Amino acid sequence: MSGAAAVAGRRLLAPLALAQFICSFAGSNMNVMIDDISRDLDTTVKGVQTTITLFLLVMAVLMIPGSKLTDRWGRKRCFTVGLALYCAGALLSAVAPGLGVLILGNSLLEGVGTALLIPPVYILTTLAYTDVASRARAFGLISGAGGVGAAAGPLIGGLITTAISWRAAFVFQALIVATIVVLSRRVDDPLPADPQRPFDLLGAVLSGAGMLCLVLGILQASENAALLVVLLALAALLLLWFALHVRADERAGREPLLSLELFRNRLSNLGLVTQNVQWLLLMGISFVVSVFLQTVRDLNAIQTGLVFTSATVGVLASSLAAERLARRRAQRTLIRAGFVTTIAGIALLLALVDVSDELVAFVPGLLLIGLGVGVMLTPSVNVVQSAFPEERQGEISGLSRSVSNLGSSLGTAIAGTILVADIASGNRSYVLALIVLAGFALVGLAAALRLPPQLTAPLEASSPAGRPRRGRARLPGARGSAIGR
């Protein structure tokens, strides 16, 4: 890559990676503020959990519609509008007088802003980097920034909360967004917007309402069994209606919100499962351990954040090594190794909780979890994105991000509900929540073990001229992108 091209690449990736960082940071930094927010806003742990879960859920619900709007409005415009909404939500959260305003600012405005700005991050990256080596490097940086943001959220949030206030953490987010706006001034959209591009509003409502009912039902699991059943049944009906609506649109020749053809790619489906479970584990473990340390072990925000330093180090180390690992090891090998390492980390957390009351007992498990999740973030994204040609990148990017964020919200909802339901029991509810998360990790490992044989070789480097070296096979149906066989 020439010097000018390298500079242009850095100018593109810097704001995109920083955007992914702050959105992932927002999903986890509130975990260490639970006690402070609860006292200040006169609410409960359940109330703060609902706020965090709704933020992640709004992202998941609107990510697919947001990706479709990138074609209609343009990728740069969606990115900019998303940043503006996110900044407004962060500032509103910083001055929230009660839980309702916090939900409006954090869960809704920041969630909608994220759903608009994240799809352009992955679409612009895919369009800018056409050979697999440079694309893997770019995805590694962006996915790594997301993983570090999620892992570092508790530490940074704890430092700010203890030194100043939990409200200052939202001001910090607004300042980061302002920095992204400045850095993104030179980011260009390589494709023109198409204002006449149809938008499936009914499909967006049905899919969003279905996922909303699913997660809200899980949140009600410990309090109202009848409402749980009603919400889960309603979720199933809405999602079935959405699938039938999409099929009818496709048969009529209309453009649906999400083509069902995307789910006919076995490689992509397996990759999506691994993505969903990765974020479910990362966010679920972060919430469970944070709440346990604050409510059972009586740690403050900074102490809780410091405990998570080991997870941050693990994610950062494995993410920085992503490109080198991708050149030496097969994509599916990295994903499998990541799940095995994460399961080992959960096992350590379970084994040491009753052995020692020292905080250092949490370090080995969180370190392994950080290493495990970090090493498989990039391969999973690369598997999914590169399974489709360029003209479908908008759709698959939105689906990929939606699935990841749905995993985040499910992790917080499922594991958090188990923990909060019987938090007075101390170690017992904590252990049960971790066992459930370990079960999900096994599901992710099972999906990784089913990844097809064409992912048995590491990615090959591109030639000096920027063209893929001869001998690297492409995935069926993918043009302009590939994953090494």
Q: Which residues of the chain have pLDDT under 50?
A: 1-2, 456, 461-485
pLDDT of residue 468: 36
pLDDT of residue 285: 93
Residue type, 385: Q
pLDDT of residue 437: 95
pLDDT of residue 84: 95
pLDDT of residue 93: 96
Distance CA 39, CA 425 (A): 22
pLDDT of residue 382: 80
Please tell us whether the domain made up of 10-187+257-455 is placed in CATH 2.60.40.10: no
Nearest alpha-carbon partner for 99 in 44, 29, 161: 44
| C-beta separation of 367 from 380 below 8 A | no
| C-beta separation of 416 from 53 below 8 A | yes
Q: What is the DSSP letter of 355?
A: T
Q: pTM for the full model?
A: 0.80
Torsion over CA: 405, 381, 71, 259 (sign): negative
Nearest alpha-carbon partner for 135 in 409, 431, 480, 395: 480
| Class of residue 29 by CB neighbours under 10 A (exposed 0-12, middle 13-18, buried 19+) | buried
| C-beta separation of 115 from 63 below 8 A | yes
pLDDT of residue 271: 92
Domain map (residue ranges) of the chain:
10-187+257-455, 200-256
